[in-house]
Amino acid sequence: MTGSKAEIIAAVDEALGSLLPKEDMYPPEIHRAMRYSVFAGGKRLRPLLVISAADIFAVPLKHALPVACAIEMVHTYSLIHDDLPSMDNDDYRRGRPANHKVFGEAIALLAGDALLTAAFATLAGAASSCFPAETVIELQRELAQAAGTSGMIGGQVVDILSEGKAVDGQTLDYIHFHKTAALITCCVRSGAIMGQASPEQLQTLTGFGRKIGLAFQIVDDILDVTGDEKLLGKKTGADAGKQKATYPALYGLEAARKKAAILLKEALECLKPFGPAAENLKELARYAVIRNS
Amino acid sequence: MTGSKAEIIAAVDEALGSLLPKEDMYPPEIHRAMRYSVFAGGKRLRPLLVISAADIFAVPLKHALPVACAIEMVHTYSLIHDDLPSMDNDDYRRGRPANHKVFGEAIALLAGDALLTAAFATLAGAASSCFPAETVIELQRELAQAAGTSGMIGGQVVDILSEGKAVDGQTLDYIHFHKTAALITCCVRSGAIMGQASPEQLQTLTGFGRKIGLAFQIVDDILDVTGDEKLLGKKTGADAGKQKATYPALYGLEAARKKAAILLKEALECLKPFGPAAENLKELARYAVIRNS
């Protein structure tokens, strides 16, 4: 394998640092704002998923890094925009003031826009020196699909429009699969695309990604009810306060916990055909679901 | 040439209609919001620039269309975000209520995000069936550069941070070249890239684009002082109200008019080496600068 989890996170941080415009580049306000949220102590779950999936196909770490960073940029942009007053109106993120509380709403909005743009610049730039042009375009199509209205944005739209409403299981599944699982699935699919995986392998990893993505979101919702505010770096109970559609709200905590455990088990089973090559991805799946922050 | 201006605009509208998700696609709110602003009666100056530049190199209209549409999506996203209360706080755009006045701030924000994402999806999708993969990646790099913090977003940041402040000529030039001229230059450069232009030809068109882009913004600022509100579809005097840095504010109306005329003349001279093949691009340049709305 390419290194320990801590080593890979360090490599991701270094790559993000060199891919993003420097803080003092004009106009500095926007570059500071972008870096503030990118280096805000995130778990780097998405880059780790990209790299661990690519590792199954022996894609070198340094080739997978730009793609991993591009997805982390998209994830970070979505958090910045999500926290804005007109959206979730969250003042804190990972124990620190939200981007707009530090840089103001206008710069935060533009920092999100800039990170989304930088993600595609990274694929067309750094990633394109590692892979054939056709592969790069496939990666871009994948990311655009996962991030757009057929993926993450679609999920956010329904999430916001559902606030304060009675939501059925089908709508809740739509929100979770799109808001969270789409980008997580994109991570493992991108690893497979870089590795020239067969259609069957891609299919298998897609199934794994969807299960882990859904489990991850359910655990997020459980932690919003039962978690430790200090470990989470944000106030709990936010979902209930906003009458958000969540798994625990609809099915209860116990059923939510059971569902997450079943999804994790099924996800791990998906990886069987890959044998020991998928060991890191398995470990990561456990980490994504069995966590307290 | 590929058709009259009206015919090309009709082709652009049709292409945008088929590239964007249908209104009734779930969740419909976001697709309605995207289409509301894309089909809000814009001049389609940017798509026309793309297509006219591509036409110099005999790129077929139907190949240039997806690229033209991708840039129009980026332009539209920037308008939606620009109008938001935390940015320019404009209630009207092209004579109609701004996106957030119709769909609410959250959906407007997401519609902008979705259009930016759709632009890159369009390049990786529809455009990639018209050009070699390497060309598509070059187009993406070009667009990401023009739209990001080294281009449009950089200009918007400085524009916003300069509100209410005394701004010197250098800062004003920075704002205009980045906020407006960067994407307009990207239009003509993209046409050249599709047409496999030589480095010299690309350089020449870059010069043309920068001049026309700057002239276009100066005329915009002049119209905000002297224009007809009915023709413009928005209130005039908005820049002065926000103490915006503009050419007329810094140099006076007469000097601004002269500057725009000189830039147009210089831009047209840039196109001489292309002979009659650049006739449409020349006409478009005149239209962009000599206008009343």
Q: Where are the domains of chain B?
A: 5-289
Helix extents (H) in A41-132: 45-56, 61-83, 99-103, 105-124
Contact A157 B87 (CB under 8 A): no
CB distance B109–A81 less than 8 Å? yes
For residue range B181-209, list pLDDT tens digits in order. Answer: 999 999 999 999 999 999 999 999 999 99
Contact yes or no for B140 and A123 at CB 8 A: yes
ipTM of the complex as predicted: 0.96
Mean of the pLDDT values across residues B155-159? 96
pLDDT band at residue A2 using 50, 70 and 90 as cut-offs = low
List CB contacts (< 8 A) between A160 and chain B: 106-107, 110
**Average pLDDT for residues A138-166, to the nearest whole number?**
96
Q: Do A121 and B141 touch (CB under 8 A)?
A: yes
Residues from chain A that touch B134, judged by Cβ atoms under 8 A, are 133
Contact B144 A117 (CB under 8 A): yes
For the segment B242-253, the average pLDDT, to the nearest whole number, is 88
**Bridge partners of residue A96, in order along the sequence:** A93
pLDDT attached to residue A244: 82
Q: How far is CA B251 from the centre of its chain?
A: 25
Percent of chain A with pLDDT over 70: 99
CA distance B269 to B282: 9
As a whole-number percent, the residues of chain A with pLDDT over 90 amount to 85
Q: Is A89 on the interface with B (CB under 8 A)?
A: no
Interface test with A, best of B71, B86, B115 (most A CBs within 10 A): B86
pLDDT band of B66, cuts 50, 70, 90: very high
Q: What is the rounded CA–CA span in Å between residue A185 and residue A212?
A: 8
The end-to-end CA distance of chain A, in Å, is 26
Q: Which of residues 186-245 of B touch A (CB under 8 A)?
A: none
Q: Is the pLDDT of residue B2 over 70?
A: no
Residues of chain B in contact with residue A19, where contact means CB-CB under 8 angstroms, are: none
The span from the CA of B209 to the CA of A249, in Å, is 55
- Among chain B residues, CA nearest to A77: B113
Q: Contact A19/A69 with Cβ under 8 angstroms?
A: yes
| A19 and B CB contact within 8 Å | no
CB pair distance less than 8 Å for A132 and B133: yes
Q: Which tens digits make up the pLDDT trace of B90-131?
A: 999 888 999 999 999 999 999 999 999 999 999 999 988 999
**Whole-number mean pLDDT of chain A?**
94
Length of chain B: 293
Q: Residue B63 has which token pair?
A: 């190949």
Q: Is the pLDDT assigned to residue A1 strictly greater than 70?
A: no
Q: Is A130 on the interface with B (CB under 8 A)?
A: no
Contact B292, B70 (CB under 8 A): no
Asked if B118 reaches chain A (Cβ–Cβ under 8 Å), the answer is yes
- Mutate which of B113, B150, B160, B172 to test chain A, going by most A C-beta atoms within 10 A? B113
Does residue A109 sit at the B interface (CB-CB below 8 Å)?
A: yes
Is the bond preceding A27 in cis, omega lying within 30 degrees of 0? yes
Partner residue facing A114 (CB), from B31, B77, B149 = B149
**Min distance A166 CA to chain B CA atoms (Å):** 17
pLDDT at residue A274 tops 70? yes
Q: Which residues contact A7 (CB under 8 A, 6 or more apart)?
A: none
B292 vs B29, which has greater pLDDT? B29
Name the residue of chain A whose CA is nearest to B100's CA: A86
Q: What share of chain B is helix, strand, coil (3-state, %, to 5)?
A: 75, 0, 25
Asked whether residue A181 carries a pLDDT value surpassing 70, the answer given is yes
- Mean pLDDT over all residues of chain B? 94
Are the C-beta atoms of residues B182 and B213 closer than 8 Å to each other? yes
Question: Which of A158-167, A181-190, B10-19, B177-186 is the least confident region?
Answer: A158-167
User: What is the helix, strand, coil percentage profile of chain A, to 5?
Assistant: 75, 0, 25
User: Residues 134 to 193 of B: which have CB under 8 A from any A CB?
Assistant: 134, 136-137, 140-141, 144-145, 147-150, 153-154, 156-158, 160-161, 174
Any alpha helices (H) in B233-278, and if so which ranges?
238-241, 247-251, 253-270
Q: How far apart are CA A183 and CA A179, in angstroms?
A: 8
CB distance A149 to B31 below 8 Å: yes
Average pLDDT estimate for B280-287: 96
Range scoring the smallest mean pLDDT among A39-48, B213-222, B235-244:
B235-244
- Do the Cβ atoms of A154 and B30 come within 8 Å? yes
B5-289 folds as: Farnesyl Diphosphate Synthase (1.10.600)
What pLDDT digit, counting tens, does each position of A88-140 carry? 999 998 889 999 999 999 999 999 999 999 999 999 999 889 999 999 999 99
What CA dihedral angle connects A196, A152, B147 and B51, to 10 degrees?
70
How far A172 CA lies from chain B's nearest CA (Å)? 13
Please, are residues B227 and B293 in contact by the beta-carbon 8 Å criterion? Answer: yes
- pLDDT tens-digit map of A213-268: 999 999 999 998 888 888 777 778 888 788 888 899 899 999 999 999 999 999 99
